[in-house]
């Protein structure tokens, strides 16, 4: 028996990958759904990435940094790529990639219009399943653009399903199953079903190609004659053989159906189609093509019959061409191997069956006893979406700014434009992305949540992710973390220390914790030195990931002054507490870290005093607010009840008497410090632990009671589906501000944004967002047992029992994905097909955020990233760090 056999096979593969004995993570679903319209591919003079490299160019123009495709695979350096393409006999172009609108084309920003699902996946990608619904009628590219362009911010988005193209079930259901027989061998099965009432033809083209590394003057080892250096794909009936100097020889090979061999191999094998993964410069720019068979050659040949594929059956991009004629309801399976040429291949069907069975065993072992089948399915699909969100990310800022030797030079001012101060940044990594289409790039605080959840299924990869992000290749010399590629200089909430703790508790690796702690010190110092303008422990930070939550853009104030931020200050207290907890964990093993625990406890106390004494806490309303401080004027309080005022409650942590007894220097320092400086005692010692210990908390009992009573109030924050990002109070009482000729307002918007702020594709003025709901729940679970019921919220306010409220909130969040008493899935909205047809209803998408009144999914449709937190809510009912 092979060591990997049995119910623990996937765990064995994870251990082998962690130990470096077998590279089970080397191949995976690392191909993004979109590479066009990204900052990396933008060499324009005006910085408009969407128009510089639009969707129309993607089929004909080589990418500089990374590739895209449907149901795609690649190796970890993306030397080679595999993906599927289709043609229904009617579309004007081959369906090689998902279609969507660029940011300026959608009435709510960029938006994918195709329908696909990440149905299953194991952490080593030993088993993957992807599904796509492809219309049989001509894809309405022009209509989708025109209808969305005609709609305003107050209108819903016009989706593909709204066109009626799926009426009478006239579409193909396409499923791709991938099963590893070895670290470098995939058994591939493509299943196609004609869901419609009439016979229909579908062209299926599995593609194999090499990422273009030779056209830019940066790869002297391969940019000469490609065939001479051993970089070429050669085709023959039923087989593509690719050789690459970086990876060796790779084959994509048809597996004939049983009984077809009697007809002769060439009679049944799909023919190869070959071209080169190079730009059609003649078409796009009126230039000269390096080779006659350009990137769009296969598509033009299939769709238009042009002589644009290489008759010698060689190139750097190839496909096998299957043509399926399907009766109504008929299903066909296409089997292939994608494998290293020297890999010994086992039985194809058995490999698929074994990996699916092992995936069942892996997730069954992770599912808590008593979990309903529906919840187990939600949890599994959420984890699978994270697996599919692992994407190859390549970006060298220095080279990007200076341009490539064989390409036109960028404009001179580029050296002072976007990301100009990040010349040290260099990435060529597989990262957990927020969404493989809408956000095919990392975002700093998103990554923290991804790692926290991913550590539950693969702590080794989660640990490596955080180490990569905290490395000198990413972290700025001044300690700043890059926010996201559209603007590395922006600041996301400092939650990586929290993620480090979550990953550490999944697999207690003290060396990992120490390494991260030292890098996090640099980031903490950046915040203290750069985001505290008054040097008074009241922090700024700008938008801090909450896009349009403020009355105006908090990163670019339209008026003079400094915005003292409730959330910025609360996040820094949270950061301090996480660093304190890390220090304590390290102290229990190496006492030298106890002094750092004292340092962070003291810093936390300074922030606690500042946030409560400076005016950010508003005693009249019983809430935390931002304040605009202006020279010579009284501060202006931004009385917007939003998640901005909830963040301070996240910065809480109980320390038991038992733990204090193991930290004598730390306990003595706290007593000495709070005796000498009693004004700081309330943030450290003001709330006693039920066991006689203490609770670090920015809010005292009365403050916490007043805020929590608003959060538990349906007329304020509590929606049927979680905590709203902005109180429903503002529906009838919008906050309005007029200052220096600037008039702005904030009101309750439970669905899509009515604002164009930060691209207009997300909305923090009402909808339910999983990450802050999750962190709030975690904070309540941490301190709830220590503090119990909020006993004095004030006259007319709701009395909140923390543990009961937390469980109620957890159930509301999970309820977004559960079938409600009316047989509906709230996440799928009101579309009758999505709600009524099990082929659609039984596989919800994990959206970016959710309508506060209906639970319908909004924003990026495949943002399993932080919405995968739903898996943690199901699997870990009490969340949080281990008991103190």
Query: HEC states along 824-884?
Result: CCHHHCCCHHHHHCHHHHCCCCCCCEECCCCCCEECCCCCHHHHCHHHHHHHCCCCCCCCC
Interval 413-426 mean pLDDT: 93
Q: How many CB atoms lie within 10 A of CB 56?
A: 12
Percent share of the chain, pLDDT over 70: 94
Is residue 38 helix, strand or coil?
Answer: coil
Interval 792-815 mean pLDDT: 80
Q: Phi and psi of 563, rounded to 5°?
A: -90, 110
Interval 2-26 mean pLDDT: 87
Percent share of the chain, pLDDT over 90: 85
pLDDT number for residue 413: 87
For 549-564, how does the pLDDT look when each residue is reduced to its tens digit (9 = 90+)?
999 999 999 999 999 9
Alpha helices in 412-476 (DSSP H): 444-454, 459-469
pTM above 0.75, yes or no: yes
d(CA 611, CA 618): 10
For 52-68, how does the pLDDT look when each residue is reduced to its tens digit (9 = 90+)?
999 999 999 999 999 99
Q: How confident is the model at residue 7 (pLDDT cuts 50, 70, 90)?
A: confident
pLDDT number for residue 792: 45
Contact criterion met (CB below 8 Å) for 814 and 832: no
pLDDT number for residue 2: 46
For 852-867, how does the pLDDT look when each residue is reduced to its tens digit (9 = 90+)?
999 999 999 988 889 9
pLDDT number for residue 220: 78
Cβ density class 772-789: b for 16+ within 10 Å, e for less: bbbbbbbbbbbbbbbbee
Interval 79-108 mean pLDDT: 96
For 135-187, how does the pLDDT look when each residue is reduced to its tens digit (9 = 90+)?
999 999 999 999 999 999 889 999 999 999 999 999 999 999 999 999 999 99
Alpha helices in 69-221 (DSSP H): 141-150
- Which range is least confidently modeled, 69-83, 381-395, 783-797? 783-797
Q: Is the pLDDT of residue 263 over 50?
A: no
β partners of residue 601:
none
d(CA 663, CA 270): 70
Q: How many CB atoms lie within 10 A of CB 238?
A: 19
For 663-721, how does the pLDDT look when each residue is reduced to its tens digit (9 = 90+)?
999 999 999 999 999 988 877 654 555 567 888 999 988 899 999 999 999 999 999 99
Interval 810-834 mean pLDDT: 96
CB-based contacts of 620: which residues, under 8 Å, 6+ apart? Answer: none
Token duo for residue 532: 């505290």
Q: Is the pLDDT of residue 264 over 50?
A: no
Q: Phi and psi of 847, rounded to 5°?
A: -70, 170
For 573-620, how does the pLDDT look when each residue is reduced to its tens digit (9 = 90+)?
999 999 999 999 999 999 999 999 999 999 999 999 999 999 999 999
Helix, strand and coil in the chain, % to nearest 5 = 35, 20, 45
Interval 127-132 mean pLDDT: 98
CB-based contacts of 694: which residues, under 8 Å, 6+ apart? Answer: 654, 655, 660, 670, 684, 685, 687, 688
pLDDT number for residue 760: 66
Q: Phi and psi of 243, rounded to 5°?
A: -115, 140
């Amino acid at each position: 028996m092979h060591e990997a056999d049995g119910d623990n096979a996937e765990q064995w593969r994870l251990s082998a990958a962690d130990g470096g004995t077998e590279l089970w993570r080397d191949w995976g679903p690392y191909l993004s759904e979109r590479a066009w319209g990204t900052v990396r591919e933008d060499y324009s003079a005006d910085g408009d990435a969407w128009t510089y490299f639009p969707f129309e160019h993607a089929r004909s123009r080589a990418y500089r940094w990374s590739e895209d495709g449907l149901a795609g695979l690649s190796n970890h350096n993306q030397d080679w790529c595999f993906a599927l393409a289709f043609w229904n006999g009617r579309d004007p172009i081959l369906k090689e990639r998902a279609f969507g609108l660029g940011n300026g084309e959608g009435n709510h920003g960029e938006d994918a219009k195709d329908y696909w699902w990440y149905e299953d996946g194991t952490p080593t990608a030993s088993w993957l399943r992807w599904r796509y619904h492809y219309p049989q009628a001509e894809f309405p590219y022009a209509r989708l653009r025109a209808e969305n362009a005609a709609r305003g911010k107050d209108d819903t988005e016009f989706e593909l399903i709204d066109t009626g193209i799926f009426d009478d079930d006239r579409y193909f259901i396409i499923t791709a199953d991938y099963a590893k027989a070895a670290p470098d061998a995939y058994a591939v099965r493509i299943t196609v079903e004609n869901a419609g009432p009439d016979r229909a033809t579908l062209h299926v083209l599995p593609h194999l190609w090499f990422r273009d590394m030779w056209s830019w003057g940066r790869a002297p080892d391969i940019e000469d004659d490609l065939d001479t250096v051993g970089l070429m794909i050669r085709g023959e009936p039923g087989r593509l053989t690719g050789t690459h100097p970086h990876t060796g020889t790779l084959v994509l090979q048809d597996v004939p159906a049983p009984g077809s061999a009697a007809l002769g191999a060439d009679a049944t094998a799909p023919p190869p189609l070959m071209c080169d993964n190079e730009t059609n410069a003649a078409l796009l720019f009126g230039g000269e093509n390096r080779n006659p068979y350009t990137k769009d050659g296969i598509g033009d040949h299939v769709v238009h019959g042009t002589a644009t594929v290489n008759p010698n059956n060689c190139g750097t991009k190839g496909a096998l061409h299957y043509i399926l004629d399907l009766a109504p309801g008929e299903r066909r399976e296409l089997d292939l191997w994608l494998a290293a040429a020297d890999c010994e291949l086992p039985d194809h069907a058995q490999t698929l069956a074994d990996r699916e069975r092992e995936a069942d065993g892996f997730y069954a072992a992770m599912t808590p006893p008593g979990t309903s089948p529906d919840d187990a399915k939600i949890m599994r699909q959420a984890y699978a979406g994270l697996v599919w969100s692992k994407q190859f990310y390549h970006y060298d800022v220095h080279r990007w700014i200076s341009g490539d030797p064989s390409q036109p030079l960028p404009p001179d001012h580029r050296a002072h434009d976007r990301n100009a101060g990040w010349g040290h940044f260099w990435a060529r990594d597989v990262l957990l992305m927020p969404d493989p289409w809408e956000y095919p790039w990392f975002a700093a605080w998103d990554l923290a949540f991804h790692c926290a959840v991913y550590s539950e299924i693969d702590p080794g990869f989660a640990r490596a992710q955080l180490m990569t992000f905290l490395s000198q290749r990413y972290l700025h010399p001044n300690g700043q973390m890059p926010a996201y590629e559209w603007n590395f200089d922006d600041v996301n909430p400092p939650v990586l220390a929290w993620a480090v703790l979550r990953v550490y508790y999944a697999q207690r690796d003290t060396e990992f914790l120490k390494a991260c702690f030292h890098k996090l010190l640099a980031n903490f110092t950046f915040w203290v030195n750069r985001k505290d303008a008054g040097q008074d422990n009241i922090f700024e930070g700008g938008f801090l990931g909450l896009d349009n939550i403020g009355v105006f853009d908090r990163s670019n104030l339209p008026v003079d002054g400094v915005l003292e931020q409730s959330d910025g200050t609360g996040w820094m207290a949270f950061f301090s507490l996480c660093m304190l907890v890390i220090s304590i964990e390290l102290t229990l093993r190496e006492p030298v870290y106890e002094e750092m625990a004292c340092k962070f406890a003291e810093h936390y106390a300074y922030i606690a005093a500042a946030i409560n004494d400076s005016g950010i806490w508003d005693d009249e309303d019983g809430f935390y607010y931002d304040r605009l401080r202006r020279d010579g004027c009284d501060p202006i309080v931004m009385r917007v009840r939003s998640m901005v005022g909830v963040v301070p409650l996240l910065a809480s942590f109980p320390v038991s008497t038992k733990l204090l007894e193991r930290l004598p220097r730390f306990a003595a320092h706290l007593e000495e410090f709070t005796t000498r400086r009693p004004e700081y005692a309330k943030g450290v010692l003001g709330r006693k632990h039920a066991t006689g210990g203490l609770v670090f908390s920015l809010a005292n009992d009365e403050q916490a009671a007043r805020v929590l009573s608003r959060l538990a109030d349906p007329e304020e924050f509590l929606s049927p589906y979680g905590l709203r990002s902005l109180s429903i109070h503002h529906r009838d009482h919008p906050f309005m501000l007029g200052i220096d000729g600037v008039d702005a307002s904030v009101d309750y918007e439970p669905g899509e944004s009515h604002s164009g702020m930060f691209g207009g594709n997300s909305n923090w003025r009402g909808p339910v967002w999983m990450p802050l709901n999750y962190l709030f729940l975690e904070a309540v679970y941490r301190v709830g047992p220590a503090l119990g019921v909020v006993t004095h919220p004030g006259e007319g306010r709701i009395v909140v029992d923390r543990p009961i409220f937390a469980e109620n909130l957890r159930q509301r969040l999970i309820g977004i994905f559960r079938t409600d008493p009316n047989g509906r899935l709230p996440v799928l909205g009101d579309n009758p097909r999505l709600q009524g047809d099990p082929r659609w209803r039984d596989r919800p998408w994990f959206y970016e955020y959710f309508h506060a009144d209906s639970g319908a999914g909004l924003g990026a449709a495949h943002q399993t990233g932080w919405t995968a937190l739903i898996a943690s809510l199901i699997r870990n009912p009490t969340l949080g760090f281990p008991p103190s």
